[in-house]
Amino acid sequence: MGHNLMRANSKYFYFLIVLLFAAATLLPAGCARHRDMVSGTVKDITEPTPGAPLKQPEAKMIYSANAKSPVVELENVTIPPLKEQPPPLDYVVGPNDTIMVTVAGHPEFSLGLSTPTTAGSITGTQRGCKVDGTGFIQIPTLGLVRVAGLTLPQVRSHMQDLLKQYLREPSVVVEVVQYRSQPLYVLGQFKNTGVFYMDRPFNVLQGLALGGGYDLATANPKAARIIRDSRVIPVDVYELLMRADQSQNVWLKPNDTIFMPDNKHQMVFVFGAGKAGMTIPLPASGMNLLQAIAAAGFQEVGYHSRRVFLIRSLSATRGQLMVIDVEMMVRGDAIPLELCEGDVIYMPKSAMTSWNEAVGEILPTLQAFGAIISPFVQLKYLFDK
């Protein structure tokens, strides 16, 4: 019986050695794992690399088994979607469109029928008449007629009313030969980019389809944005594409821009405590808050380490406002917070009791960063809602 027990123990010991070896081979070399105290997800932390440009003193620290989250305040923020009236279903004529007006049986009142044109040594025909920059077309006998801002049925009705002084029952046909008044700009990591002209009302999905899809390897859909009148509007392209959130599928307007940025130039922003704001590239291996503070040189200046403010963008319309106790991470009582692309870190010079006080200090620097900061930060702080 003793011999059998010894054999069983030997088998158990051998099995335990094999299991430990397998676990060691599955864990990437130089990596440790921890649970993110905010999101609850498990992430890899790369150990210091010889010759690395960033100092990583915290990677060598030993953290308490009861390490807590360094986030002492957390507020989830969602920017509400746009609420707009749907555009008219009929196309609205505008400057630079080319239209043709045909009056049945009366070519003398018609406009834009095939007319000879000469360009150098090439002779051809041109159909239609271009609407000028002020919205007028020239009609024989009638003179200048304003058509911009009218739908095609409205243009037809207007023309028939004007012709009644010359014809008893005029029959008018109006059509657009070339659409050029409602441009839509599709830029960034799309397969097809450039200027497209809308010939009917387009929503965001239809506008994205004009781009022929985006490059999955290089595009950053979480940072995609719709720009209107030089401002980002609250549309979450990522939620629309990945979760079919139809509240984000708003109607586009002429001169809107759909921009899909790339994922190559990811960065975080650090400023405060009397220092000028700066951008820090976010390496592929990741970066935590202590590393960013060291890279920005804040060890050399005084700042209130118990209340460091962080604005995190989860998408174009969703984000988090955090207050971080950096002192806990320095002492080893909390694992350093991993940073995400677009994080805005503000280091106060003295204790602040609320976000309202911090925002007063943050705004000038955010305005200086301008369009390079995330859509969420722009919508939350830079635009009137």
Per-residue model confidence as pLDDT tens digits over 308-354:
999 999 999 999 999 999 999 998 899 899 999 999 999 888 776 67
Mean of pLDDT over the chain: 80
- Give Cα 92 to chain centroid, integer Å: 29
Alpha-carbon gap, residue 225 to 378, rounded angstroms: 11
DSSP at 70:
S
Alpha-carbon gap, residue 256 to 195, rounded angstroms: 10
DSSP at 378:
I
- Homologous superfamily, domain 183-260: Outer membrane lipoprotein wza domain like (3.10.560.10)
**Of residues 87, 167, 186, 174, the one with CA closest to residue 131:** 174
What pLDDT does residue 296 have? Answer: 85
Residues in CB range of 168: below 8 A, 6 or more apart: none
Find the DSSP H helices in 88-247.
152-163, 204-210, 237-243
Instruction: For residue 81, name the pLDDT band (cuts at 50, 70, 90).
Output: confident
Percent of the chain with pLDDT over 90: 52
The token duo for 17 is 């050695």
Alpha-carbon gap, residue 167 to 163, rounded angstroms: 6
DSSP at 151:
B
What pLDDT does residue 300 have? Answer: 63
What pLDDT does residue 353 have? Answer: 62
Alpha-carbon gap, residue 163 to 172, rounded angstroms: 9
What pLDDT does residue 301 have? Answer: 66
pLDDT tens profile 234-262:
999 999 999 999 999 999 999 999 999 99
Q: What end-to-end distance do the CA atoms of the chain give, in Å?
A: 81
pLDDT at 44 over 70: no
Residue 103: strand, helix, or coil: strand
Alpha-carbon gap, residue 327 to 45, rounded angstroms: 20
What pLDDT does residue 50 have? Answer: 38
- Homologous superfamily, domain 57-78+265-382: Outer membrane lipoprotein wza domain like (3.10.560.10)
Where exactly does CATH 3.10.560.10 map onto the chain? 57-78+265-382, 183-260
Alpha-carbon gap, residue 101 to 276, rounded angstroms: 61
Residue 382: strand, helix, or coil: helix
pLDDT at 53 over 70: no
Positive/negative CA dihedral, 91, 95, 100, 103:
positive
**Of residues 369, 308, 330, the one with CA closest to residue 61:** 330
What pLDDT does residue 124 have? Answer: 42
Alpha-carbon gap, residue 385 to 379, rounded angstroms: 8
pLDDT tens profile 224-240:
999 999 999 999 999 99
DSSP at 183:
E
The token duo for 31 is 């990596």
What pLDDT does residue 364 have? Answer: 83
What pLDDT does residue 34 have? Answer: 35
**Of residues 233, 308, 251, 282, the one with CA closest to residue 88:** 251
Alpha-carbon gap, residue 385 to 369, rounded angstroms: 20
Burial class, 180, CB count within 10 angstroms (exposed 0-12 / middle 13-18 / buried 19+): middle
- CATH code 3.40.430.10 for 98-178: no
pLDDT at 21 over 90: no
**Of residues 222, 180, 187, 233, the one with CA closest to residue 207:** 187
Q: Average of pLDDT values for 105-113?
A: 82
Q: Average of pLDDT values for 280-293?
A: 92
pLDDT at 3 over 50: no
What pLDDT does residue 384 have? Answer: 59
Length of the chain equals 385
Where exactly does CATH 3.30.1950.10 map onto the chain? 98-178
pLDDT tens profile 122-146:
444 457 899 999 999 998 888 999 9
Instruction: For residue 25, name the pLDDT band (cuts at 50, 70, 90).
Output: very low
